[in-house]
Amino acid sequence: MAYDLTTWLAFAEKLPPIGYVVASHKQTHKGAADPTALIIALLARSISNMKGVIVLARAGFVVEARTCVRCLFENLFIAGGLVDRGDDFVQEMLQDELNSRKLRGSIVLQQPMRDKEFEERLRALIEQMKRTYPKTQFLTPKRASESSPLAANYLFYSQLSSDSAHPSFSALSRYFRFTENGEEMRGIDISPKVKNDELVDTVNLACHAFIGVLVAVNQILGDPCNDRINPLVAEYRSLAAIAGAAATLRETN
């Protein structure tokens, strides 16, 4: 029962409304560089991502759903950093933003431009950023997750990157048709059949990441919603435990 997609989608649909409840417990006027403001914005993004996973999984778009789940794990890593390191982590996020702007601007300047005035303004802006912020670096998901209790979740993120988000051999292999011995490629399946188990796994991972974001936001706000979140955590653990047992049973048969 717990390894049925309908069961998991029903549980997943309970999560976004709780996100709205958690977000409503705090108003901040400190600006976008405030960890509280950022983590509430992160929750808003996660609610949208979660809704996308539900719609896509129900429609059978497993690759697209798993790509949205990958976004949820990125949100989780950032949420963990904001909880653990606060303002210091905000500075790392700002450095990432500045580094990205410098890189994008440099790429634009490599292209021929007719508007020479704009080109000069852009070049001057990039040079100013380089002088003001000479040592910026990217805040990669791996780096964001490394120094927090969430580090083990990077394995999920990496798997989702490999089998869905990136056009890797792993991701493209779902479109290959093989002989029965799995060795000789016989053709390309433009619309391969989606496995129910993979859809269930996708929604399971989405719930895992979203609940993690919920817990992080609730923590940074002072735990005002424990009475709403704790029952969801218990229900999720029960579903995940049964799903894991079902997967083990399938592997042994």
The string of pLDDT tens digits covering residues 13-45 is 999 999 999 988 766 666 778 999 999 999 999
Name the amino acid, one letter, at 36. Answer: T
Residue 249 in this model has a pLDDT that exceeds 60: no
Q: What percent of the chain has pLDDT over 90?
A: 54
Residue 92 in this model has a pLDDT that exceeds 70: yes
Greatest mean pLDDT among 108-112, 117-121, 163-167 lies in 163-167
So what's the pLDDT on residue 106? 85
Least confident of 13-22, 61-70, 137-146, 201-210: 137-146
Alpha-carbon distances, residue 150 vs 66, 83, 182 (angstroms): 19, 11, 36
So what's the pLDDT on residue 129? 81
Please tell me which residue, 8 or 31, carries the higher pLDDT value: 8
CB burial of residue 135 (10 Å; 0-12, 13-18, 19+): exposed
Q: Are β-strands 176-178 and 185-188 bridged in parallel, bridged antiparallel, or unpaired?
A: antiparallel
The model's pTM: 0.86
**Band of pLDDT at residue 47, cut at 50, 70 and 90:** very high
Residue 184 in this model has a pLDDT that exceeds 80: no
So what's the pLDDT on residue 183? 67
Residue 246 in this model has a pLDDT that exceeds 50: no
What's the rounded Cα separation, in Å, for the pair 237 and 119?
55
So what's the pLDDT on residue 182? 61
Least confident of 55-59, 77-81, 88-92: 88-92
So what's the pLDDT on residue 15? 97
**Band of pLDDT at residue 109, cut at 50, 70 and 90:** confident
Please tell me which residue, 218 or 247, carries the higher pLDDT value: 218
- Number of Cα atoms under 13 Å in the Cβ half of residue 89: 23
C-alpha radius of gyration, the chain, whole number: 22
At residue 179, the 3 state secondary structure works out as: coil
So what's the pLDDT on residue 136? 76
**Band of pLDDT at residue 248, cut at 50, 70 and 90:** very low
